[in-house]
Amino acid sequence: MEREYLPQHAVLEEKLQYSFSNKQYLLLAFTHSTYSYEHRKMGIVSNQRLEFLGDAILDFIIGEEIYNRKPQWDEGKLSKTRALVVCEKTLAEVANQLQVGQLLLLGKGEESTGGREKPSTLADTMESMFAAIYLDGGFENAKRVILLLLNSYVDLAVKGELVFDYKSRLLEKAQTKHASHQVLFEVVNEEGPVHDHIFEVAVLIDGQEIVRAKGRSKKQAEQDASKQALEIWKP
């Protein structure tokens, strides 16, 4: 049984600047294990094998890029920097930019528990997609797309500026040699059922609300709010 190629897939290909010759590779990359299990009698397989291959391809391409940019770095520094670029958080962030979640084929249970927005699922799907491009168009096309999507993260990582613990960074920014600012995180709203709960958190600095952000957990909302606050708050 072949999965259906939709207009949304064509939009994604435009963003990737890559058009699949064999569209089934692209559709396979979005097939979650829960969907394949529910359709196993129809011969549907999941993207798990693609994920395995894509992980290796991604590690190599980003590792090579950092290796070439920083010939003076030792193995430890290279490994730590690559880990920042290929981590779940980075890949999930790129997946959200591409609206990958809306294209996922999920089982009913996974769908009902917010599977389309799970960072681990989004990151795994990105790795599967990289492998799909490699199998469809070869190594150079896979490399071109990976660097197109992740080059800005590599830039930040090699400069030591790729940070995902935005809350800690905000708290550090608030405590300087010359001044100490009070930073508070306040849950201002909660909505949705238990399986799809949304928290809205406000960041208050010295009693003044700076920004608000929403997330599926208080931790996520705090991180997203902290990231925004770092961008706009000037102590």
C-alpha 222/C-alpha 47 separation (Å) is 32
Of 65, 110, 127, 222, catalytic: 127
> What's the rounded Cα separation, in Å, for the pair 188 and 180?
25
127 carries an active-site annotation: yes
> Using CA atoms, how far apart are residues 95 and 93, in angstroms rounded to an integer?
5
**Which of 137, 122, 147 is CA-nearest to residue 51?**
122
C-alpha closest to that of 54 among 149, 185, 170: 149
Residues annotated as part of the active site: 55, 127
